[in-house]
Amino acid sequence: MQLTTQVIFITSTVKKEFEGLQGGKSEDRERYNQLQEVFILLEKNGFSGIQIKKRLIPKKYLSEFKIHNLWKYNLPDGWRLLYAIENQGNGVFVIIIEWLSHKDYERKFNY
């Protein structure tokens, strides 16, 4: 039996932010298209990104979102997509947490 994989957003706010990119400036629309492509890739293989060590997961993610793992996918222009993977029954969920610039990513992870 093959597990189905579905990409979902951690909150409705994150989903709205993603949808808002489609009607934004040209770089926002480009980011929207890049994310769409990555979402398709993640539906095929959620483990395509790089797993972040548990000790490096921001405390906010652990307490607020109750995630148990964190993955990073490198996007063009130094942007990063952060997501978690959850297995529920016959399905796997790739949970989109946020996408951010490399500078913001470094701040969040104290690099």
- In tens, the pLDDT along 54-86 reads 999 999 899 999 999 999 999 999 999 999 999
Domains of the chain and any CATH numbers? 4-108 (3.30.2310.20)
With beta carbons less than 8 A apart as the criterion, state whether 54 and 60 touch: no
Q: What is the mean pLDDT of residues 15-32?
A: 96
Question: pLDDT averaged over the chain?
Answer: 93
Residue 2's pLDDT band (cuts 50, 70, 90)? low
3-state class of 1 per DSSP? coil
For 52-100, give the secondary structure using H, E and C. ECHHHCCHHHHHHHCCCCEEEEECHHHCEEEEEEEEECCEEEEEEEEEE
pLDDT above 80 for 1: no
pTM of structure: 0.92
pLDDT above 90 for 88: no
